[in-house]
Amino acid sequence: MQINKKKALIGIVGPCSAGKSTLAAGLKKRGINAKQIAQEHSYVKDMWQKMTNPDRLIFLQVSYPTA
């Protein structure tokens, strides 16, 4: 999958401690437009679309013991 680094926005969602900010920072260092979308305390399942509406979405998962 090819993504135009300058135009496409990658949104990153997931629970606390899943690594959203770490992944976003790593992608940004490589010139990829990425944004973590804080919605873990929202009951609105499509809040990420309402807040950012990214071109691609990454969902991270974390186990309860790790979090």
The structure's pTM equals 0.76
Query: Would you say 53 and 18 are in contact if contact means Cβ atoms under 8 Å apart?
Result: no
pLDDT at 16: 85
| pLDDT at residue 19 in the model | 93
What is the pLDDT averaged over residues 11-36?
93
24 within domain boundaries: yes
Torsion sign over Cα 37, 42, 44, 45: positive
The answer to whether residue 33 is domain-embedded is: yes
Rounded to the nearest integer, the mean pLDDT of the chain is: 84
Q: Is residue 13 part of a domain?
A: no
- When comparing pLDDT for 34 and 45, which is higher? 34
By residue range, what is the domain housing residue 62?
Answer: 1-8+18-66
Number of domains in the chain: 1
Residue keyed to tokens 């990454």: 58
